[in-house]
Structure 1
Amino acid sequence: MAVDDDPITTLIIEDSLAHRFHVDIVSSGEQALQIFEQLSPDLILLDVLMQGMDGFEVCTALRSHSKGQTLPVVMLTSQDDIDSIEHAYEVGATDFIAKPINTALIAHRLCYLLRAHATLKALGRQERQLAAAQRIAKLGHWEFDPAQGRFQCAEAARELLNLPHQPQGFSLHQVLAQVHPRERAQVEQRLLSLDLAQRPPVQFEHRLCSGTRVLRQNVEYSSEVGGWLGTVQDVTTMHRSAQRIIKLAYYDQVTGLPNRDFFLEYLQRRLDQGGGAEICVLVVEIDALKRVGIGWGQAVTEPLVRDLSRRLMADMDIVALEAPLPSPQAWSLEQPQLLARISDAAFALLSTAHSQACHRLTQRLLTALSQPLAVAGIDLPITAKVGLSDALDCDEDANILLHHALAAAATACLIADKVQTYHRDLDNGERSRLTLEARLRRAINQQELELWYQPKIDGCNGKLIGAEGLVRWRDPNEGLIPPGHFIPLAEETGLIVPLTNRVLDLVCADLRLMHAPGLSPVKISVNISAAQLDDERLPEGIAQRLSSAGLSPQDLELEITERALMARLDSVLGTLTALHTLGIRLSLDDFGTGYSSLGYLGRFPIDELKIDQSFVRDLGTDAAGETVVRAIVALARGLGLYVIAEGIETLEQATWLCNNGCERHQGYLYSRPLERDAFLQLLDKRAPPPPWSALRCPSALCN
């Protein structure tokens, strides 16, 4: 667009440019402003001296318009009018062309200006794209002059550093004031140590004052500016993602403690650094957590685990970790102790204490865990086992060292103080245990189990009133294996459930034999495992077995230990009720050895209390024990329950029990457990009286 009120000048312009440009001629400044937005010219030729608005006013108005701020505006003025030329630049002219116009050069001049404008537009577009990319990447750049100690920051860098707009730049003090106080001295040292003689790039990170944002600084020397160029990037999101990965990979989600992977990686670092002789590992296994997990589930277990971890941390003077959580590689090798949760029911402690100090440490751990757990209204005692291993026995391998501690903890229950130090024989014991487990699994599947029966006697008249079925394992190679060798193993490994199912199959098959003609059948009781009580299908399964054998539910009695019942107060009520509704009698075994079951007896459909042999053993010699037995008998009578005593070995014990209202007896005084065929002979109506019939108490004592 050419703006000039001289028609000769406009004719010359149009004639000189028409072969390369589309030219619009405008004769006044007012008209130019009116049609400027409509025409959207790429360049304006603007005469200085015109009627009405002169060129200076028009240029000023154009520059105030959003579309005219960067538009090339070329002023036409006389060659010797220096004042006009200066004024033209002041109001925003891009260039000037002197009159008279050189028609041979004007087209080339304008092409150059348009190319320069296009380059400027491209540069501006790139700068905007760069600024947008930096905003997306949360990235900015700055310059630092070490001699003057001043920063010049781009807008993005200034915003990231929370600095105000300040064209003259910022002092080192102003920049450091935005750094988190705990990291300020370190950042200052890094910046002040930048030396022109040491020019490799430097990278470091720091938090801002708020502590919620993390910035990464990359600094390198630039010979062009004679100082240091830096980029600053907000890596808070990256850090949060990294923290989440570290937390998920290396920390227990319930307690916040390091997990097994963290423990092993850090332990290996310590061993690789040498000084392994000063390292010992303690593993604490807490059986109560397993039992609570089975009985109540994760919702109840998690608060208990947190409570136990707090106890251990308080006793070990271990402070809970705060963000940012370190990885095993970042954890200081100077830490004397590390506590980790390595499984659902086990904690591990790495200590640099010497051997004797580690033994004292185990006693502190057991003391810290001595208080019972409050679970669903009961106080559940904690049974903790501690296994100890020394780095001298691990060949500098973290997995082996932890394995040694776990192996020691697994056998700690066999000694009085629940603490076991690893020795090489334990590995042999564990291998034997695994072998026995495999053999027991085979024994269950290949029907190597059988039931032996211990009679239950009416102590007043010596009559056989029932029997307890006791499982026995007859190994084809070793013969009979004592129950004490395989029942605890079955409970620990979960084989107790298939083993109990096999016992139920055996007792139903044997009961069918006991109903043969010529025999006097009696009620048979078997123990039901604690784990089996959690299965709601148990009553249906037993009913099907009885029905298939042609038996009545009244032929079977189930004995449940008090400990199994108390660990599952609410979860097993439905199962017990369903069993009782079927007509199966329920006996509470080992009564009196548990926790506080007296308050719960009325809630459960129990038919019989079984006095534990530990109370029977001291009858006649221990007044306190006798008082307990009298109380149990009185309680049973008050609740309308039967009562039976087990473990009777002497006539004096039997007499005392009869005299105090407990006529149902079981023990070696009458008979040891008998093989099935031997027990069937007792049921034969033609058989002679059993040998214990002469031992019955005087009838006067039973009235």
Structure 2
Amino acid sequence: MFAWVNATHPHRHRCSTDAEPDLQAQQVCADKPAAETAYRGVQVDPQPTTNDRPRILAVDDDPITTLIIEDSLAHRFQVEIANSGEQALQLFEQLSPDLILLDVMMQGMDGFEVCTALRSHSKGQTLPVVMLTSQDDLGSIARAFEVGATDFIAKPINTALIAHRVAYLLRAHATLKALARQERQLAAAQRIARLGHWEFNPAQDRFQFAEAACELLNLPHQPQGLSLHQVLAQVHPRERAEIEQHLLSLDLEQRPSVQFEHRLCAGPRVLRQNVEYSSELGGWLGTVQDVTAMHRSAQRIIKLAYYDRATGLPNRDFFLEYLQRRLDQDDTAELCVLVVEIDALKRVGMGWGQAVTEPLARNLSRRLTADLDITAPEAPLPSPQAWNPDQPLLLARISDAAFALFATADSQAALRLSQRLLTVLSQPLRVTGIELPMKAKVGLSNALDCDQDANTVLHHALAATATACQSADKVQTYHRDLDIGERSRLTLEARLRRAIDQHELELWYQPKVDGRSGRLIGAEGLVRWRDPKEGLIPPGHFIPLAEETGLIVPLTNQVLDLVCADLSLMHAPGLSPVKVSVNISAAQLDDERLPEEIAQRLSSAGLSPLDLELEITERALMARLDSVLGTLSALHRLGISLSLDDFGTGYSSLGYLGRFPIDELKIDQSFVRDLGTGAADEMVVRAIVALARGLGLWVIAEGIETQEQATWLCANGCEWHQGYLYSRPLERDAFLQLLDRRAPPPWNALPCLSARSDRARR
């Protein structure tokens, strides 16, 4: 059995056979492709093509030597011949050989000059160059290595071994290339990971650092290594002794590895060191990683979780965790909690929003910390578990308008501290040029009365604060009777939660009327709670509670479900459907999913976005000037109308009104009450109407109860009305009767409308 391969050169591509082939068979081998050749039933054994073989450049001015080399290597390699050093450099540029066999002694450029030229070329710096020299020419061998030769082969050439020698050198070169590539990849990965490695020989007091480690530690890269003293010089002075102790205390038996972190002298970087013993080295192997970004992220997490954004003080969570830690440490210590609530912050927040309350809260926190000589936690910010202050006080901001103070003090000392707080806060606040008087109240509780539970201690202080205004000195110490009111509140909260779950809420509708024609133009849906035992509960009893407890979100969701269901009924045959408005809670304005959820509700009910209007209180809008803009814009793009309720009761709306996609202004009933009597509110209403016209907005007045109010509003350009003069809120079925096209609305009998109708007929 034998196999032929395509041969293009008698030396470089030989046919392998069991017997010597005849000339005709050789011709078939040369002329036919291996994949198609079949001769006398013999299959072809494919061999690597010429281009797949390593390329060897043999350089010698002796033709006999080059013939021997070519004959010895051609069956495994592509062999190219150069007869001079000059020709070798030309072929090197053209062919990019994988290995060069280079004779030392040649006419013109000798092998040393050629090797030197090759090593100066960018492509020849790592190329295997094997010098051909006499076996006993030790001087040439030494010089060959000096000019950069990889190896040498002694003449006369051993034809049986040269192919194996070349193959071995090529494999070694490939291995070195792979190793160099891996080292580059490792170095790149370490640069990306901000990681480096090092070795330490304690007997010689010498560190050897990888290049990446030198960069991280701001150390010069020195082949001879660095001493421990030189390395410690780069460590932050405050941590230098600790790091030295870590390194010198390493012990193979008791402490074979250690991890620690430290800072550098230069810059804010933080490095993490992992060290372990190496028996092979007889010393320590270490990795160093830059964890500055990790520390910054951790600091950001701690800051967001445990610190108030506006003041930088610890927040409620920090306060509770720290308080619980102190309670667990000593259950007999006199520990008190004081909660101070500042009424002005509430009022400013409702009027101006967070843009003004945040700097005011910062000023107040500075005033308190300065007067009480309190040192707040500083960067790097500690967690409650890591903070160990050397002072008996901790000040925290636990809500928008309240601060809490932890004090190591008995009840009498806590009372004195409360009075001091009130004195500190007695100075007025200056807001946009206005001086607001400060009204603060303090509630305090003693940890010994609270079963060592931090939440209970704080809860008691808050309960005391809620009733502190009834005390002559605005300070209230907790006692058990205060819980009765809180229990009533909790009971009402539980009942409201059940009412939402069991769908005890319903919508009543108050008509909106065109004051000139009497035409029904819309309605406002007002939520009512029909308790199975107590009947209807006024909204004023449960809406504030829902806002405080977060139940306002599920409550509003149920209102949206109800209004969509009722709007579907209003589109029944024979009825004239109108646009219905409902109030949207301030909490839901921050939810970017709100527009999509409302659109889904409308679509499921077969309604158009034009059927619905959302009323947003001015107070809710001003508290969230930036966060709600995207939500309001998305709602407006859907086609849902937006009305600004209670307009005129805030302080900053005029400055921001043009930024929001509002369709309608609703004049608050507090301005409507004295219309037609020459009161100062008439000027305010005229200004609001003019503002609405200037901005291209509709305007409606609520709380209209008298014909004088309605007449004055129509005369001054506000023709859309809502109030008891026309109708009280109606249950759904009663309101559906108003939509019947066959029946005129009851308010058409009003004298003011009748007189207008008479004038219209004349």
Structure 2 residue 443 is the aligned partner of structure 1 residue 391: no
CA distance in 1, matches of 2:388, 2:229: 32
Shift of the 581–365 alpha-carbon distance from structure 1 to 2, 3 Å rule, reads closer
Match of 1:583 in 2: 675
Q: 2:209–2:221: 8 Å Cα contact kept in structure 1? A: no
Normalised to the residue count of structure 2, the TM-score between the two structures is 0.59
Match of 1:7 in 2: 63
Aligned mate of 1:158, from 188, 209, 214: 214
Shift of the 439–586 alpha-carbon distance from structure 1 to 2, 3 Å rule, reads farther
Which secondary structure state, in structure 2, belongs to the residue aligned with residue 23 of structure 1? strand
Match of 2:78 in 1: 22
Trace 1:545-560 onto structure 2 (pairs within 5 A).
none
Which secondary structure state, in structure 1, belongs to the residue aligned with residue 333 of structure 2? helix
Structure 2 residue 197 is the aligned partner of structure 1 residue 105: no
Shift of the 139–23 alpha-carbon distance from structure 1 to 2, 3 Å rule, reads same
Q: 1:270–1:333: 8 Å Cα contact kept in structure 2? A: no
Match of 2:384 in 1: 328
Structure 2 residue 458 is the aligned partner of structure 1 residue 414: no
Q: 2:671–2:682: 8 Å Cα contact kept in structure 1? A: no
Aligned mate of 1:49, from 95, 102, 105: 105
Residue 130 of structure 1 and its aligned partner are, at CA, apart by 0.2
Deviating beyond 4 angstroms after TM superposition, the runs of 4 or more aligned structure 1 residues are 433-442, 486-495, 534-537, 566-572, 574-578, 584-588, 601-606
Match of 2:416 in 1: 360
Query: Could you list the runs of 5+ residues in structure 2 that have no partner in the other structure?
Result: 1-56, 500-504, 507-531, 549-615, 620-647, 655-665, 687-762
Match of 2:338 in 1: 282
CA distance in 2, matches of 1:570, 1:129: 59
CA distance in 2, matches of 1:176, 1:603: 77
Q: Which amino acid aligns with 2:61?
A: D
Match of 1:38 in 2: 94
Residue 42 of structure 1 and its aligned partner are, at CA, apart by 0.9
Bigger shift: residues 190-199 or 18-27: 190-199
Shift of the 293–17 alpha-carbon distance from structure 1 to 2, 3 Å rule, reads same
Shift of the 567–302 alpha-carbon distance from structure 1 to 2, 3 Å rule, reads farther
Q: 2:250–2:257: 8 Å Cα contact kept in structure 1? A: no
Q: Which amino acid aligns with 2:123?
A: K
CA distance in 2, matches of 1:256, 1:380: 24
Shift of the 354–488 alpha-carbon distance from structure 1 to 2, 3 Å rule, reads farther
Aligned mate of 1:124, from 171, 180, 204: 180
Shift of the 325–113 alpha-carbon distance from structure 1 to 2, 3 Å rule, reads same
Which secondary structure state, in structure 2, belongs to the residue aligned with residue 170 of structure 1? coil
CA distance in 1, matches of 2:618, 2:477: 42
CA distance in 2, matches of 1:72, 1:383: 88
Shift of the 276–200 alpha-carbon distance from structure 1 to 2, 3 Å rule, reads farther
Structure 2 residue 305 is the aligned partner of structure 1 residue 249: yes
CA distance in 2, matches of 1:177, 1:357: 50
CA distance in 1, matches of 2:135, 2:496: 114
Residue 377 of structure 1 and its aligned partner are, at CA, apart by 2.8
Aligned mate of 2:363, from 307, 310, 315: 307
Residue 403 of structure 1 and its aligned partner are, at CA, apart by 0.9
Aligned mate of 1:65, from 93, 110, 121: 121
Aligned mate of 1:225, from 272, 276, 281: 281
Match of 2:554 in 1: none
Residue 224 of structure 1 and its aligned partner are, at CA, apart by 1.7
Residue 319 of structure 1 and its aligned partner are, at CA, apart by 2.5
Q: 1:576–1:605: 8 Å Cα contact kept in structure 2? A: no
Q: Which amino acid aligns with 2:402?
A: A
Structure 2 residue 203 is the aligned partner of structure 1 residue 147: yes
Q: 1:276–1:391: 8 Å Cα contact kept in structure 2? A: no
Normalised to the residue count of structure 1, the TM-score between the two structures is 0.64
RMSD of the TM alignment (CA)? 3.9
Provide Cα deviations, 1:199-222, integer angstroms capped at 9, x if missing partner. Answer: 332111122223421111111111
Aligned mate of 2:458, from 402, 410, 430: 402
Bigger shift: residues 139-148 or 579-588: 579-588
Residue 11 of structure 1 and its aligned partner are, at CA, apart by 0.7
Which secondary structure state, in structure 1, belongs to the residue aligned with residue 285 of structure 2? strand
Which secondary structure state, in structure 2, belongs to the residue aligned with residue 389 of structure 1? strand
Q: Which amino acid aligns with 1:37?
A: E
Residue 147 of structure 1 and its aligned partner are, at CA, apart by 3.2
Residue 295 of structure 1 and its aligned partner are, at CA, apart by 1.7
Trace 1:587-602 onto structure 2 (pairs within 5 A).
none
Match of 2:265 in 1: 209
Structure 2 residue 237 is the aligned partner of structure 1 residue 181: yes
Shift of the 75–372 alpha-carbon distance from structure 1 to 2, 3 Å rule, reads same
CA distance in 1, matches of 2:433, 2:456: 41
Shift of the 46–491 alpha-carbon distance from structure 1 to 2, 3 Å rule, reads closer
CA distance in 1, matches of 2:368, 2:102: 87
Q: 1:577–1:605: 8 Å Cα contact kept in structure 2? A: no
Match of 1:193 in 2: 249
Shift of the 439–200 alpha-carbon distance from structure 1 to 2, 3 Å rule, reads closer
Provide Cα deviations, 1:211-266, integer angstroms capped at 9, x if missing partner. Answer: 42111111111122222111111111111122112111211110011111111222
Q: Which amino acid aligns with 1:16?
A: S
Which secondary structure state, in structure 2, belongs to the residue aligned with residue 232 of structure 1? strand
Residue 186 of structure 1 and its aligned partner are, at CA, apart by 2.4
Residue 54 of structure 1 and its aligned partner are, at CA, apart by 1.0
Provide Cα deviations, 1:267-294, integer angstroms capped at 9, x if missing partner. Answer: 2222233346332211111121111111
Which secondary structure state, in structure 1, belongs to the residue aligned with residue 299 of structure 2? helix
Q: Which amino acid aligns with 2:246?
A: R
Aligned mate of 1:259, from 299, 315, 330: 315
Aligned mate of 1:91, from 131, 140, 147: 147
Provide Cα deviations, 1:77-112, integer angstroms capped at 9, x if missing partner. Answer: 111111111111111111111111111111111111
Residue 190 of structure 1 and its aligned partner are, at CA, apart by 2.1
Which secondary structure state, in structure 2, belongs to the residue aligned with residue 277 of structure 1? coil
Residue 30 of structure 1 and its aligned partner are, at CA, apart by 1.1
**May I ask how many residue pairs the two structures share in their alignment?**
499
Shift of the 244–104 alpha-carbon distance from structure 1 to 2, 3 Å rule, reads same
Shift of the 536–389 alpha-carbon distance from structure 1 to 2, 3 Å rule, reads closer
Structure 2 residue 383 is the aligned partner of structure 1 residue 291: no
CA distance in 2, matches of 1:440, 1:58: 95
Which secondary structure state, in structure 2, belongs to the residue aligned with residue 101 of structure 1? coil
CA distance in 1, matches of 2:130, 2:139: 16
CA distance in 1, matches of 2:194, 2:116: 38
Residue 144 of structure 1 and its aligned partner are, at CA, apart by 1.9
